[in-house]
Structure 1
Amino acid sequence: MTSEMTARLLRLLSLLQTRREWSGADLADRLEVTVRTVRRDVDRLRELGYPVDSARGHAGGYRLASGAALPPLLLDDDEAVAIAVALRTAAGGLTGIEETALRALAKLEQVLPRRLRGQVTAVQAAAAGIPWETRGARADPALLAALAVACRDHEVVGFDYRTRDGTTTGRRAEPCHLVASGNLWYLLAHDVDKDDWRLFRLDRIARATPTGRRVPPRPVPGDDPVAFVAERLATAPTRHRAVATVHAPADRVRARTRGLATRIQPLDGTTCRLDASDDDLPRIAQVLSGLDVDYTLEADPAVLHHLRTSAHRTLRATG
């Protein structure tokens, strides 16, 4: 297959991915070839495994059908930049994304040409979003992408980590999974020096550097990374304690409290127990205000003071 024909087939495949259906004449005009050449090129795409449907007659045309496997997507420069920026924005904390979406970001950034990678960074820096629904530190999208690649490649990473008391230490870890809880991202990894599993908040990680050392995949205890992280978070120490007995079924409360499912325990069919303990007082208030049902609260004096102050401020504002 000549280079000219290969380039034309790639261009034809790209066109078929941009619209639901193309007429043979339109494709021939775009490719600057005859309709007969378009038919031959479509047959070549079919031989390569691309499911191209066609219909004869005046209203007929060509369209790329759904196949058994996803064909390679051909993106122009603008489309690649737009997708990378969208994934970076989502990964950065404006919206919650699943680990599969994060892997997509890692794959895309790995193959982006240097010139496009610079454009993505520039657009991301210039187009800041307003985090109306999130509070607290947001994960760095570049860090998320780098750690996602390390998880995929089972590559040991070195980084500086700041603990709850503000102490910063150097760590070496084997990244395993990235898990989102509420508006925070966590890295589940095996600490090389401590020879134990550890959970690292991404907003406390700095200067993450791949070491080039790859290791065999290490099974997570219980074979369920999300459940393992949820258990660790449920038992992790917090600065402020706040436990509410909520007068609503557990399923209803879970639907109204994003990322806190493991901290909700049913007491009976109409009440449940919610552990809203946290290091951040406003975040506790945000969780409780989102319940929209009656509850009783057991909390530290600092929590109660913050809630009372906020409530009095609201009463004064409303006259």
Structure 2
Amino acid sequence: MAATSARTLKLLSILGIGVTLTAGELAARLGASVRTVRRDIDTLRDLGYEIEAVRGAGGGYRLGSVIRLPPVVFDEDQAVAAAVALQTVPTVLSGIRENAARALNTLHQAMPARSRLHAEAFTVLSARNYWEFPGPPIDADLVRVVGGAINRRHLIRVDHPGDGRPAPLTLEPHALVVWAARWYLVAFDPAAGRWRAMRLDGIRPHPTHTPFDRRDIPHGDPVAFVMTAHDRGDATAAWPCHGSAVLALPAATVARFAPGGSTVAYETETTCRLTLGAWSWPGLAGLLLTFDADLTDVEPAELRQALRSVRTRVGKALRPA
């Protein structure tokens, strides 16, 4: 009986992620016969779960809509993933730390002893690494408002910094992207006829409840679009040293590999200005050199001196012993 119950719960866990699988595929995952799988499906149906049989090519079984929230069923690997996510989410979302801690405690209490020990082995603490250049956590309510508009395909109005003062924009929100602990909105601007990548913490969204039709995102991937957009609304992070240089690389290339907390300005098709900060002038010089491109118009003088010092040190290192 215990083995049957465990197998049935695992079947519910598999179907709970929204997949459609044949009886044979389910049997292979459960290590049981097709006949046993069908009997377990009947058991779930008797318990009130709507297991749909989908006919035709690509058919099989799937979990249908429910009128009540079913019990959440995790296997050990899913429990570990949930536990780690609940511990790390406060690094990218503010106002959620207490709720995440409560959810993690609830998850641990609901687990069998063996699974709880397995999940608690993944207790983690988050600390800032200066090479990550992370942004500050973003307000969870802001994510909720914009994410709701994306899911419902509703236009939003945002106050967006224009030439020194906020300018209202009506946007078609398509996706949220988190990169280097920074949240970006990928949206189409109908008035300008172009796509925008915008820092989520730089806008104030207002729901309109007006529907729109989804469009094809450039590159077919919102992440790729954000990573190559040089005008995504980034600002230079606070560092002891700040400088800039014109790099002999396209803005889209530099935008993809520039450290978080830096800005990229378009100059020509083959050049752009990178502005960034670091803990020291030699550190800043080293970051610029990682692009392996010609540098011109380097500012300020302290950064130019740091580059000369780096050149001298490298020259000494290359001399014969």
TM-score normalised by L of structure 1: 0.46
- Structure number with higher helix proportion: 1
